[in-house]
């Protein structure tokens, strides 16, 4: 048998043909076959982020290509290779239980560019999607659907917050099917557009609406929450759904919440949505965020230090769109100024975004704006009066002095004409609690902040 090194070179050569250039450079380039014992195949990968990608995304493919090259691996271990030191981080993950894992293996042909006829973004493919525990179910379901459109999970319903990769995954299904069968009719549409077209059809008696949606092989419909409260559109979509489903055409839906939480969704549509597979997509954990940053930086031809990657991942926990935004900002800034995109540059940029707001706000502004918002005078607010319509604004002003300016309780009491600082403590605690429970208070506070920083 070939030496481990030549065997691995041959495996890599084959894999290089089946994944994008960026994916290969990010994940495969610096790997090595350390142990080619069939019972205990061990592969060294460059960092801890790569381990999970290999386990979830590339394990089956590697096993397959190894087998073609004469090595029937029973178990594949991935370890981080560091100079002189080697840590076994993880064992092989269990194989996908769907039974279709074999079919899901990326076809070993160079990927063709999708035809421009669809509005699908070719950048959104499975290759460029980083998998972690927050999205691995959604990822696996999408791969399964891409391999078995119309037969496996129909409909596939993905839900989760904004910027977490739903559109990316759904479009990846479209891209994958299209690259395999260029004749496949794939229609991607946002629900808002669907609603708009429906209204136009009614208003201008336009024809062709139903045909357009019912004569496709795959219908990908994004942001279904926009159908809430629109009864006629729901009815039309119900018929579209049935027509497609009956002829085993694949339907993929996304929404910001699960079917049962979309308000005013008719019962029959809700039950249809729950026929197939419903999966949530969550915010990736720290390690996955690191992997996403690494991959995206690599894609831009930049290699960031571990500290920079971790700094970004640590500080941006909202969603991936923002994470991407921060990274792009960092890279653009570094290029423009001719500096390194390192931690201190990142700190400067992100620190700016985070700390610039409160600096130019004074306690007087907070008190004045809050009074104005509630249409009372500052004098009333700082007076001894205990009328209900004055007490709440006063408490909110105290809360804002604390949350925005981090003033001490005695200082806050003084700002609002109180002698006793325990009043400030109680007021702030009360608003903190109310914000969690009372929608109206939450709105007041948010609105006042908006105006403060406008």
- The residues of the shown chain that bind ligand ADP, judged by CB under 6 A, are 128-130, 135, 162-168, 292, 320-321, 324
Shortest distance (Å) from residue 278 CB to ligand ADP: 15
From ligand ADP, Mg ion, none, which one binds at residue 350 (CB under 5 to 8 Å depending on kind)?
none
Q: Which stretch binds Mg ion (CB under 5 A): 31-39, 94-102, 161-169, 376-384?
A: 161-169
**CB under 5 to 8 A by kind: which of Mg ion, ligand ADP, none does 162 bind?**
ligand ADP
Of these, 167, 255, 363, 382, which contacts Mg ion (CB under 5 A)?
A: 167
User: With respect to ligand ADP, which residue has the nearer C-beta, 34 or 189?
Assistant: 189
Partner whose footprint covers residue 345, from Mg ion, ligand ADP, none (CB < 5 to 8 Å by kind): none
52 contacts which partner out of ligand ADP, Mg ion, none, CB within 5 to 8 A by kind?
none
For residue 255, the cross-strand partners are: 159
Pairing of strands 86-90, 76-81: antiparallel
Residue nearest to Mg ion (CB): 167
Rounded Cα distance between 436 and 430, Å, is 10
Q: Is 135 an interacting residue with respect to Mg ion (CB under 5 A)?
A: no
356: left (phi > 0), else alpha (psi -120 to 50), else beta?
alpha
Give 251's DSSP letter. E
Q: Which of ligand ADP, Mg ion, none does 320 bind, CB closer than 5 to 8 A by kind?
A: ligand ADP
Please, are residues 416 and 390 in contact by the beta-carbon 8 Å criterion? Answer: no
102 in helix, strand or coil? Answer: helix
The answer to whether residue 171 forms part of the interface with Mg ion (CB under 5 A) is no
Residue number with CB closer to ligand ADP (223 or 415) = 223
**Residue 53 binding Mg ion, by CB under 5 A:** no
Shortest Cβ distance from residue 190 to Mg ion (Å)? 8
Q: Which is nearer to ligand ADP, 140 or 395 (CB)?
A: 140
Residue tagged 């970004």 (tokens) = 312
Nearer to ligand ADP, 128 or 191 (CB): 128
Kindly provide the b/e burial profile for residues 311-347, where b requires at least 16 CB atoms within 10 angstroms of the residue's own CB: bbbebbeebbeebeebbeebbeebeeeeeebebebbe
Closest residue by Cα to residue 191 from 202, 183, 199: 199
Shortest reach from residue 127's CB to ligand ADP, in Å: 10
Binding region for Mg ion (CB under 5 A) out of 9-17, 119-127, 167-175, 382-390: 167-175
Cβ burial, residue 265 (10 Å; 0-12/13-18/19+): buried
Q: Which is nearer to Mg ion, 128 or 167 (CB)?
A: 167
Which CB atom, from 8 or from 124, has the smaller least distance to ligand ADP? 124
Q: How far is the CB of 118 from ligand ADP (least distance, A)?
A: 16
Task: Work out how close the CB of 221 gets to Mg ion at its nearest, in angstroms, rounded to a whole number.
Answer: 11
Closest CB 213 distance from Mg ion, rounded Å? 19
Query: What is the distance, to the nearest Å, from the Cα of residue 2 to the centroid of all Cα atoms in its chain?
Result: 43
Across the strands, what pairs with 86?
81
Rounded Cα distance between 64 and 71, Å, is 9
Nearer Cβ to ligand ADP (67/321): 321
Pick the closer one to Mg ion by CB: 62 or 320: 320
Residue 133 near residue 53, CB atoms below 8 Å: no
CA dihedral 68, 140, 132, 271 (to 10 degrees): 180
As a 3-state breakdown, the chain gives helix, strand, coil percent values, each rounded to 5, of 55, 10, 35
Size of the site for Mg ion (CB under 5 A): 1
Concatenated DSSP letters for 295-325?
Answer: HHHHHTT----HHHHHHHHHH--S-HHHHHH
Contacted entry of Mg ion, ligand ADP, none for residue 150, CB cut-off 5 to 8 Å set by kind: none
How many CB atoms sit inside 10 A of residue 94's CB?
A: 8
Query: Crossing angle for the helix pair 343-359 and 320-337, nearest 10 degrees?
Result: 110
Please state, in angstroms and as integers, the Cα–Cα distance from residue 180 to each residue in 62, 91, 192, 217, following that order.
21, 33, 29, 13
Smallest distance, ligand ADP to C-beta of residue 132, A: 7
Least Cβ distance, residue 338 to Mg ion (angstroms): 36
The pair of three-digit structure tokens given for residue 398, joined into one six-digit string: 């105290």
Q: Which stretch binds Mg ion (CB under 5 A): 24-32, 85-93, 162-170, 388-396?
A: 162-170
* 133 or 151: CB nearest ligand ADP: 133
**Nearest position to ligand ADP, beta carbon:** 165
Q: How far apart are CB 131 and ligand ADP at their closest, in Å?
A: 7
Residue with smaller CB distance to ligand ADP, 32 or 280: 280
> For tokens 């930086």, what's the residue?
297
Rounded to a whole number of angstroms, the minimum distance from the CB of residue 4 to ligand ADP is 31
- Considering the complex, what minimum distance in angstroms separates the CB of residue 261 from ligand ADP? 16
**Chain contacts with Mg ion (rule: CB under 5 A):** 167
């Amino acid at each position: 048998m070939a030496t481990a090194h030549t065997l691995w070179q041959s495996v890599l050569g084959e894999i290089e043909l089946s994944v994008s250039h960026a994916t290969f450079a990010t994940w495969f380039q610096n790997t090595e076959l350390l142990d080619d014992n069939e019972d205990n195949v061990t592969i060294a990968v460059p960092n801890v982020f790569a381990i999970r990608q290999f386990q979830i995304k590339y394990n089956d493919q590697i096993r397959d290509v190894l087998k073609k090259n004469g090595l029937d691996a029973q178990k594949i271990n991935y370890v981080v290779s560091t100079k002189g030191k080697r840590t076994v981080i993880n064992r092989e993950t269990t194989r996908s239980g769907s039974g279709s894992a074999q079919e899901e293996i990326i076809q070993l042909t160079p990927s063709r560019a999708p035809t421009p006829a669809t509005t699908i973004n070719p950048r959104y493919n499975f290759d460029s999607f980083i998998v972690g525990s927050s999205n691995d179910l959604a990822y696996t379901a999408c791969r399964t659907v891409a391999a078995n459109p119309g037969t496996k999970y129909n409909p596939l319903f993905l839900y989760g917050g904004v910027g977490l990769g739903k559109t990316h995954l759904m479009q990846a299904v479209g891209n994958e099917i299209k690259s395999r069968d260029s004749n496949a009719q794939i229609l991607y549409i946002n629900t808002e557009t669907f609603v708009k077209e429906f209204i136009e059809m009614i208003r201008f008696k336009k024809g062709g609406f139903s045909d357009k949606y019912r004569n496709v092989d795959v219908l990908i419909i994004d942001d279904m929450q926009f159908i809430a409260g629109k009864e006629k559109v729901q009815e039309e979509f119900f018929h579209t759904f049935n027509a497609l489903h009956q002829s085993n055409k694949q339907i993929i839906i996304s929404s910001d919440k699960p079917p049962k939480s979309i308000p005013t969704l008719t019962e029959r549509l809700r039950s249809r949505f729950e026929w197939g597979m419903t999966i949530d997509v969550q915010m990736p954990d720290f390690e996955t965020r690191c992997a996403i940053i690494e991959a995206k930086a690599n894609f831009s031809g930049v290699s960031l230090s571990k500290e920079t990657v971790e700094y970004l991942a640590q500080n941006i926990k909202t969603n991936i769109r923002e994470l991407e935004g921060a990274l792009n900002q960092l890279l653009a800034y570094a290029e423009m100024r001719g500096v390194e995109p390192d931690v201190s540059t990142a700190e400067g940029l992100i620190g700016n975004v985070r700390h610039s707001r409160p600096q130019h706000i004074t306690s007087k502004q907070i008190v004045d704006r809050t009074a104005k918002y509630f249409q009372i005078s500052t004098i009333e607010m700082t007076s001894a009066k205990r009328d209900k319509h004055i007490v709440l604004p006063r408490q909110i002003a105290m809360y804002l002095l604390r949350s925005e300016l981090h003033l001490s309780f005695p200082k806050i009491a003084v700002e609002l004409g109180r002698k006793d600082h325990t009043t400030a403590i109680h007021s702030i605690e009360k608003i903190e609690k109310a914000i969690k429970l009372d929608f109206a208070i939450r709105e007041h506070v948010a609105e006042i902040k908006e105006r403060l920083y406008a």
